[in-house]
Amino acid sequence: MSMNGKLSGSNCRLSANFRLKKAKETMHGPNSFRKWKRNLLFLWLLGFVSTGIIWFLLSFNSVALGSNKKTADSCEEKARILLQHFNVSKNQFLALASFFYESDQIAFLGCGKHSGLEKPWSDDVTCALKVLCPEKQDSRMQQVQIVKTMELKDQCPVQVENIHSEHDLSLLDHHTYVPQKSVSSISWEHHSGGKNILQGSAFGGQPKDNFKNLSFCMGKGCWLLLVGVILSCKIPGFCLKLRWKQKNEPAPLQPATQQLQLLLQQKQQQQQDQSPPKGAGKWRKKLLTVFVLLGILTSIWLFWHLNQKIILRREHTLANMCDERARMLQDQFNVSMNHVHALAILVSTFHHGKHPSAIDQKTFGEYTERTAFERPLTSGVAYALKVLHSEREQFEKQHGWTIKKMETEDQTLVQDCRTENLDPAPIKDEYAPVIFSQETVSHIVSIDMMSGQQDLENILRARATGKGVLTSPFKLLKSNHLGVVLTFAVYNKDLPPDATPEQRTEATVGFNCRYLGASYDVPSLVEKLLHQLASKQTIVVNVYDTTNASAPISMYGADIADTGLLHVSSLDFGDPLRKHEMHCRFKQKPPLPWMAINASVGVLVITLLVGHIFHAAICRIAKVENDCREMMELKARAEAADVAKSQFLATVSHEIRTPMNGVLGMLKMLMDTDLDAIQRDYAETAHASGKDLISLINEVLDQAKIESGRLELEDVPFDLRNLLDSILSLSSDKSNDKGIESAVYVSDRVPEVVVGDPVRFRQIITNLVGNSIKDKGHIFVSVHLVDEMKGTSDVGDKVLQQGLNLVQDMSSKTYNTLSGFPVVDRWRSWENFKLLNGKDAKDDPEKIRLLVTVEDTGVGIRLDAQDQIFTPFVQADSSTSRHYGGTGIGLSISKHLVELMHGEIGFVSEPGVGSTFSFTGAFGKGEVSSLDSKWKQYDPVVSEFQGLGALIIDNRSIRAEVTKYHLRRLGISVDITSSLESACTYVSSIFTTSAFAQLAMILIDKDVWNQETVLQLRSLLEQHRQNCKRNVSTNLPKIFLLGTSMSPVERSKLKTSGFVDNVLMKPLRLSVLIACFQEALGNGTKGKVRRKKISTLGSLLREKRILVVDDNKVNRRVAEGALKKYGAIVTCVERGHDALNKLKPPHTFDACFMDLQMPEMDGFEATRQIRSAESEVNDKLASGEASIEMYGNVSHWHIPILAMTADVIQATYEKCLKCGMDDYVSKPFEEEQLYLAVAQFFESG
Amino acid sequence: MWHGIDMCSLVYSFAFVPCACEHQGIVDDQFTQLRKLEDENSPHFVMEVASLFFEDCEKLINNMAIALEQKQGVDFKQIDECIHQLKGSSSSIGAMRVKNACIAFRSFSDGQNREGCLRCLQQLSHEYSLLKNKLQTLFRLEKQIVAAGGSIPRVH
């Protein structure tokens, strides 16, 4: 069953393949149920196929076994036949031996000579006899030899005993060569028998080989089938993959933000692509049909082929068996006939050769009786004499009876005939009365054989041919069986073997002629014969006499219904005139050819199953392809829709913004007019709403930009602290009204200048802060380095520490927070950040990571809404959104922006307590010098306060830290006390030290404000000043009050009452602090913030020679006017060709502004030609073909070409760059953009 | 005294007209930008550009009208070119409504819709005449101010 093993091996591969395919399938849409079903189907199929094959092979084997058995049977049969032949020979010898009892050597000679034909198996023995006889003249010895031979041949003890008594054993030695010879001959016989057997077995083996071949072929077929299955499973998958690839390949080239048109084009292209798969599917289906048809044909063919083989084999078997039987019958008959012949010769020799006759009826009867075993099929033997009519009387007298005639032609009536009752034969020319007969047929003695029609013919023919002649079958006397009569003519004189019939007849006429007749009982003959053979049950044998071809006479066998196969073997009974045939039939109808049916059905089933699998696979492939196509289409549509949406949003936003600007501007103008309070309020409300609307639109625009991936971050250095100040100052308007305290804290370790996108950074914080401004408490923005968070054990930063302590000590009644309200644990907001948790080994030393935390004490976010807080247009609470405003996309935008900054955003929120949002972001480290001028506005002032000291009196340490942070930015050293009392002690303790001299200001928080104590502090200070008069010039420390929400009236009251020098409003801002301190300390400098004028377009473009190319003269004029205003020297041309001429090196232009859409030669083409002309010149210069002087001392020509275009879309921009343009400006010119565009070319130069 | 009042109203009107124009959407910010370009070196820049524009515009509108009246097939390509020109110049000068009319026109000419084009042409001429009217008022006021010896208030 090695094949099975292979099969399972290949099945493994197959299943692996299936798995692969399935894996592919799951990509498109996992369907576990289908998978399971498929597995089951596959298993079932596998089981079925293997069972089928095992069964198939087994059936082959059983057939082979059967054939083996058959072979064995036939071998056995052969052996038996061989044995029989031996027996016949042996009998012959026995007969001879028994005869020698009564005869002598001389007679034997003739007899032996004649009987030679009887003993074909023992030629050598007779030869030996021939040699021996003349020498020894001792027939006894011969017998010993014969007996010995027999003994050697096949132990026949009975016979040996019979004859043994008269032996002289010593003689044996002299003639050892005889037995030797016979032994050798026997051994040869055995050998040839063995060969026969071998041949038989070889024949039996052949079909086995055939089966083997067949099964091998089948196995091969199965293999091929499986390989086919695997291949065809793979090929479609591969094709599919290929197609996918092809389809997908162009996709990555096109960013998601492609234009609608491009997408549509792509879609159309895809639609064009869609036809081939359909064709492939059809092709596959056709192939499948062909395959199934082929399979069916194969199975039919297989059935036919196998069936044919079976039939052939059956025929062959039948023929073999029939021939065998026919041969045996013939042999048996011939043996008998030979014996009868021999008997005839014997009789003629002893009856006629001797005078007086050595044989009389008694001797004949005895002899024939004793040798009857030799003629097992002969019912009787009789000897008739030819008597001429002239001799009749004498003859009758001599024998004492009259010649009688057969009573009737119909032999059946002669059932109990008596010789006496028969009439004497009528007078004829000659008679053939029976003189001797075997005992069994003694009743025919004296009957004239020539009186019966059959016998007469026989006798005449036998006389003519000199051979044994048969009658046609007739019912034998006495027995009811059909039989034939064999007649031999015995001549008086030896005739030459080639005597003509005339001579023979003459001989009989001329000489006395005798006849020996023997009747054969054919049915019993055949019966006996068949009995000897095995498998007689399987076939039916009929024997016919077909001398008369038109009316064959059945000699044996019943008429049996036709079972199809018929084999006819001719029988030769030695009579050339008589023809006999043996008809063989199988008893049973041929059984159904199960093997062929099994094989073909197996093939058919396999084919159908494979076909089914393929069909399913093809259907599936088609379905998947269809789905895939659908998906692609949907995807394209979705992308198109997305692009359309983005465009729509951008357009609509822009379109809304334009009129809104008008609305806002008008409102602003309106507010500047003289309005009463109510009108002003209305106008202001309208203005504020408009502004909200604008910001909403901006947010929507941002969202659209983010979604389309068009948003990119800048990298510019900026001052983080100033930025945060400005953010807080914007939101403070809102928050201060509600009494919300807002504060900013930036850790010392954060560098002053960072590189990033300040606009987007501000946007994130504004969003978070805007999200936070609710009812009460505070908003606290703090910035730290991510590194500071990494180790909680040694947190150096006080603000962070307090955050930690807060968690550790929640039992204290007042919270150590900015406003005293409880807050959530800020540490939890970033605990999920990968950056903090993961050991981020690849820290870029050039990059810093900032952690920004926005803490508020608002209502918090409902727990169930926390999951989708970053989803666009989802707000924590729909009611709050109405209450507090906001679009709900702020957080989503923030999240995207944070991701763009390679950071993470997280939050922790408890309803009723508040929320803390944290985010990280990667920024570059910036140098202070690299800072843009607009960030540097405070620089000169900061130095004024360097070295001063300050005392902060605040009961909340965290708030004190925030204040300290702001003061330290100004270079002021800070001390903190928690109450006014402790401040007093502190002040007294430092009176004598230099620290007091430095102490320039005391900042008191409103929470600890207490007029008495302040007065006390003041007096203390006053007292001290008086104490140390030497230091009159020293100013007393100024006292400032830090307040959150105070009305201007309140403030001025405090100021005028002299309690404090000034009131600082929170949130603290550097600019406010500076202004305040400057005023209070009166340092004399006006402190007017000097604003450095930014380098303008004017400085950039002055004296620059610019070429404007535009076909539209209005546009040309406007561009000219705009550029001239910045001091440029403008030349205008109308067409691309003119531009080409103008810009042919050498020229003196510094830049070129090129319209894109122009007749004849558009901007792209013009640029391309200009660039090619330039590169030509550059090549020439590089190769030294032309001197630099020829081209105005410029070694490399490249004029900046800027496209002027009304529609600035990405594709246009890319096309511009591709054509060699350097940048683009939108038309009409916008100052900012124009500046940015030209700056990159002129600023460096 | 009357002279002063007159001057005052002139200047006011002069300031109001562009404002009203912008408000009505006849012109946009670009026009303001244009006016900003006007200075001592080119005192009549806007007027110069505007007259170029009028000239150009009239020619183009004329061309389009002729093209559209052609019985044996309208040359939409020519119309398209004309519209493109017109759109470019109108956006340069900041003539918003003319520009918008051009955009609408273009969609019809792309669709080879003669009826639509004719309607749009009508609309375009209407917008154009409106703009021309307004601007000519402006320039007249400017001239009057100059004639009255006043200085034209510059936009900054």
Q: Which chain B residue shows the shortest CA-CA distance from A1228?
A: B92
What secondary structure letter does DSSP report for A73? H
Distance from CA of B15 to the nearest CA of A (A): 13
Which residue, A1040, A994, A771, is CA-closest to A884? A771
User: Cα separation of A610 and A603, whole Å?
Assistant: 10
Distance from CA of B97 to the nearest CA of A (A): 13
- The count of CB pairs under 8 A between chains A and B is 64
Of A1112, A1122, A1159, the CB nearest to B88: A1112
Chain B contacts in chain A segment 1135-1174 (CB below 8 A)? 1155, 1157, 1159
User: Cα separation of A582 and B33, whole Å?
Assistant: 129
Q: Which residues contact A840 (CB under 8 A, 6 or more apart)?
A: none
User: Cα separation of A1061 and A1038, whole Å?
Assistant: 6
Q: Answer yes or no: is pLDDT of A243 > 70.
A: no
Chain A contacts in chain B segment 76-95 (CB below 8 A)? 81, 84-85, 87-94
* Residue from A1101, A1117, A1154 whose CB has the most chain B CBs within 10 Å, to mutate: A1117
Which tens digits make up the pLDDT trace of B130-153?
A: 888 888 888 888 888 777 776 666
Chain A contacts in chain B segment 123-152 (CB below 8 A)? none
Query: Taking a C-beta distance cutoff of 8 angstroms, is the pair A782, A748 a contact?
Result: no
CB pair distance less than 8 Å for B92 and A1228: yes
User: Cα separation of A425 and A469, whole Å?
Assistant: 23
CB pair distance less than 8 Å for B88 and A658: no
Average pLDDT across chain B, whole number: 80
State the virtual CA torsion across A716, A717, A722, A726 in degrees, nearest 10.
0
Chain B CB contacts of A1114 below 8 Å: 49, 52-53, 56, 88-90, 92-93
Cβ of A1206 under 8 Å from any chain B Cβ? yes
Give me the pLDDT at residue A115, please: 45
Six-digit token pair at A1173? 């002309």
Q: Answer yes or no: is pLDDT of A1234 > 70.
A: yes
Confidence of residue A632 (pLDDT cuts 50, 70, 90): very high
Q: Which residues contact A13 (CB under 8 A, 6 or more apart)?
A: A230
Give me the pLDDT at residue A628, please: 92
Of B52, B81, B91, the CB nearest to A1117: B52
Say if residue A848 is exposed, middle or buried (CB neighbours under 10 Å; 0-12, 13-18, 19+): buried
User: Cα separation of A911 and A471, whole Å?
Assistant: 131
Say if residue A879 is exposed, middle or buried (CB neighbours under 10 Å; 0-12, 13-18, 19+): exposed
CB pair distance less than 8 Å for A1114 and B56: yes
What would you report as the CA-atom Rg of chain B, rounded to the nearest whole angstrom? Answer: 18
Q: How far is CA A260 from the centre of its chain?
A: 38
What's the whole-number mean pLDDT along residues A896-901? 87
User: Cα separation of A492 and A470, whole Å?
Assistant: 22
Of B22, B42, B91, the CB nearest to A1121: B42
Give me the pLDDT at residue A931, please: 61
Show the 3-state SS of A147-160: HHHHHHHHCCHHHH
Distance from CA of A716 to the nearest CA of B (A): 29
Which tens digits make up the pLDDT trace of A866-890?
A: 777 777 665 445 444 444 444 567 7
Query: Taking a C-beta distance cutoff of 8 angstroms, is the pair A392, A403 a contact?
Result: yes
Q: Which residues pair with A382 in a beta bridge?
A: A437, A517
Which residue, A256, A241, A258, is CA-closest to A20? A241
Which tens digits make up the pLDDT trace of A50-59?
A: 666 666 555 5
CB pair distance less than 8 Å for B33 and A1119: no
Length of chain B: 156
What's the whole-number mean pLDDT along residues A441-467? 72
Chain A CB contacts of B56 below 8 Å: 1112-1114
Q: What is the DSSP string of A466-507?
A: -S-EEPPPEEPSSS-SEEEEEEEEEESSPPPTT--HHHHHHH
User: Cα separation of A628 and A622, whole Å?
Assistant: 10
What's the whole-number mean pLDDT along residues A110-133? 43
* Residue from B26, B92, B102 whose CB has the most chain A CBs within 10 Å, to mutate: B92
What's the whole-number mean pLDDT along residues A522-532? 72
Length of chain A: 1245
Distance from CA of A646 to the nearest CA of B (A): 21
Give me the pLDDT at residue A422, please: 61
Distance from CA of B52 to the nearest CA of A (A): 6
Query: Taking a C-beta distance cutoff of 8 angstroms, is the pair A1035, A1057 a contact?
Result: no
Six-digit token pair at A560? 């049996």
Confidence of residue A681 (pLDDT cuts 50, 70, 90): confident
Q: Answer yes or no: is pLDDT of A752 > 60.
A: yes
Confidence of residue A377 (pLDDT cuts 50, 70, 90): low
Confidence of residue A138 (pLDDT cuts 50, 70, 90): very low
3-state secondary structure of A514: strand
Q: Which chain B residue shows the shortest CA-CA distance from A1155?
A: B88
Which tens digits make up the pLDDT trace of A459-516?
A: 777 777 766 777 777 666 555 666 777 777 776 665 565 656 666 555 554 444 456 6
What's the whole-number mean pLDDT along residues A79-108? 56
Q: Answer yes or no: is pLDDT of A111 > 70.
A: no
Which tens digits make up the pLDDT trace of A827-864?
A: 777 777 776 665 554 556 778 888 888 888 877 777 77
Tell me, what amino acid is at A169? L
Give me the pLDDT at residue A202, please: 42
Chain A contacts in chain B segment 6-65 (CB below 8 A)? 22-23, 28, 30, 33-34, 36-37, 39, 41-42, 45, 48-49, 52-53, 56
Q: Alpha carbon of A332 to those of A329, A340, A556: distances in Å?
A: 5, 12, 16
The dihedral through the CA atoms of A697, A699, A701, A707 has a sign that is negative
A743 versus A1228: the higher-pLDDT residue is A743
Query: Taking a C-beta distance cutoff of 8 angstroms, is the pair A537, A568 a contact?
Result: no
Distance from CA of B37 to the nearest CA of A (A): 6
User: Cα separation of A1118 and B88, whole Å?
Assistant: 11
Six-digit token pair at A564? 């199809």
3-state secondary structure of A480: coil
User: Cα separation of A437 and A693, whole Å?
Assistant: 149
Domain residue ranges in chain B: 7-148
3-state secondary structure of A1046: coil
Which tens digits make up the pLDDT trace of A1067-1076?
A: 777 777 777 7
Select, from the ranges A178-182, A288-292, A942-946, the one with the highest average predicted confidence (pLDDT): A288-292
Which residue, A1038, A1046, A1039, is CA-closest to A1065? A1046
CB pair distance less than 8 Å for A1159 and B81: yes
Q: Which residues contact A1012 (CB under 8 A, 6 or more apart)?
A: none
User: Cα separation of A279 and A1006, whole Å?
Assistant: 85
Select, from the ranges A1011-1025, A1122-1136, B10-24, the one with the highest average predicted confidence (pLDDT): A1122-1136
Query: Taking a C-beta distance cutoff of 8 angstroms, is the pair A1177, A1191 a contact?
Result: yes
Tell me, what amino acid is at A1065? M
Q: Which residues pair with A744 in a beta bridge?
A: A781
Q: Which chain A residue shows the shortest CA-CA distance from B82?
A: A1112
Q: Which pTM was predicted?
A: 0.40
* Residue from A1108, A1112, A1230 whose CB has the most chain B CBs within 10 Å, to mutate: A1112
Chain B CB contacts of A1117 below 8 Å: 48-49, 52, 92
Which residue, A651, A665, A639, is CA-closest to A700? A651
Distance from CA of B80 to the nearest CA of A (A): 12
Confidence of residue A374 (pLDDT cuts 50, 70, 90): confident
CB pair distance less than 8 Å for A1227 and B92: yes
Q: How many alpha carbons lie under 13 Å from residue A909 in its C-beta half-sphere?
A: 23
Chain B contacts in chain A segment 680-699 (CB below 8 A)? none
Give the CA angle between residues B42, B45, B46 to the nearest 5°. Answer: 150
A943 versus A136: the higher-pLDDT residue is A943
Q: Which chain A residue shows the shortest CA-CA distance from B60?
A: A1112
Six-digit token pair at A1037? 């420390």
Give me the pLDDT at residue A799, please: 66
Query: Taking a C-beta distance cutoff of 8 angstroms, is the pair B10, B150 a contact?
Result: yes
Cβ of A1123 under 8 Å from any chain B Cβ? no
What's the whole-number mean pLDDT along residues A290-307? 89
Tell me, what amino acid is at A537? Q
Confidence of residue A802 (pLDDT cuts 50, 70, 90): low
- ipTM here: 0.78
Give me the pLDDT at residue A1206, please: 66
Which tens digits make up the pLDDT trace of A14-29?
A: 444 444 444 444 444 4
Q: Which chain B residue shows the shortest CA-CA distance from A1206?
A: B88
Confidence of residue B109 (pLDDT cuts 50, 70, 90): confident
Q: Where does A363-428 show beta strands of DSSP type E? A: 378-385, 387-388, 404-405
Distance from CA of A1143 to the nearest CA of B (A): 24
Confidence of residue A756 (pLDDT cuts 50, 70, 90): confident
CB pair distance less than 8 Å for A662 and B92: no
Which tens digits make up the pLDDT trace of A1191-1218?
A: 777 777 888 888 887 665 666 777 888 8
A61 versus B98: the higher-pLDDT residue is B98
User: Cα separation of A122 and A186, whole Å?
Assistant: 9
Confidence of residue A38 (pLDDT cuts 50, 70, 90): low
A298 C-beta neighbours (distance < 10 Å), count: 17
Query: Taking a C-beta distance cutoff of 8 angstroms, is the pair A855, A780 a contact?
Result: yes
Q: Which residues contact A921 (CB under 8 A, 6 or more apart)?
A: A756, A761, A849, A850, A852, A898, A901, A902, A903
Preceding peptide of A356 cis, ω within 30°: yes
- Cα separation of the two ends of chain A: 89
Distance from CA of A1221 to the nearest CA of B (A): 21
Which tens digits make up the pLDDT trace of A197-241?
A: 444 444 444 444 444 555 555 656 656 666 665 665 555 555 455
Q: Answer yes or no: is pLDDT of A613 > 80.
A: yes
CATH superfamily membership of B7-148:
HPT domain (1.20.120.160)
Ranges A365-369, A670-674, A1184-1188: which has the least confidence: A1184-1188
Q: Which residues pair with A1106 in a beta bridge?
A: A1130, A1151
Q: Which chain B residue shows the shortest CA-CA distance from A1126?
A: B37
Chain A CB contacts of B34 below 8 Å: 1118, 1121
Select, from the ranges A464-478, A774-788, A792-806, A1088-1102, the one with the highest average predicted confidence (pLDDT): A774-788
Give me the pLDDT at residue A1123, please: 81
What would you report as the CA-atom Rg of chain A, rounded to the nearest whole angstrom? Answer: 67
Give me the pLDDT at residue A1207, please: 63
Give me the pLDDT at residue A229, please: 59
Helical spans, DSSP H, in A901-979: 939-942, 957-969
Chain B contacts in chain A segment 467-526 (CB below 8 A)? none
Tell me, what amino acid is at A742? S
User: Cα separation of A690 and A656, whole Å?
Assistant: 11
Tell me, what amino acid is at A263? L
Give me the pLDDT at residue A1144, please: 83
Cβ of A1114 under 8 Å from any chain B Cβ? yes
User: Cα separation of A1102 and B34, whole Å?
Assistant: 19
Which residue, A772, A788, A801, is CA-closest to A909? A772
Which residue, A329, A954, A310, A835, is CA-closest to A582? A329
Q: Which residues pair with A434 in a beta bridge?
A: A384
Which residue, A804, A798, A782, A741, is CA-closest to A1007? A741
Chain B CB contacts of A1206 below 8 Å: 87-88, 91
Q: Which chain A residue shows the shortest CA-CA distance from B96?
A: A658
Chain B CB contacts of A1125 below 8 Å: 36-37, 39
Q: How far is CA B124 from the centre of its chain?
A: 11
Q: Which helix (H) or strand (E) holds A110?
A: helix A105-115
Six-digit token pair at A1039? 């006292």
Which tens digits make up the pLDDT trace of A948-992?
A: 788 888 887 788 888 888 888 888 888 888 777 787 777 777 766
Give me the pLDDT at residue A262, please: 57
Which tens digits make up the pLDDT trace of A316-364?
A: 888 888 888 788 878 877 777 777 777 777 777 777 666 677 777 788 7
Which tens digits make up the pLDDT trace of A159-196?
A: 434 444 444 444 444 443 444 444 344 344 444 444 44
Give me the pLDDT at residue A537, please: 64
3-state secondary structure of A228: helix
Query: Taking a C-beta distance cutoff of 8 angstroms, is the pair A422, A443 a contact?
Result: no
Cβ of A1124 under 8 Å from any chain B Cβ? yes
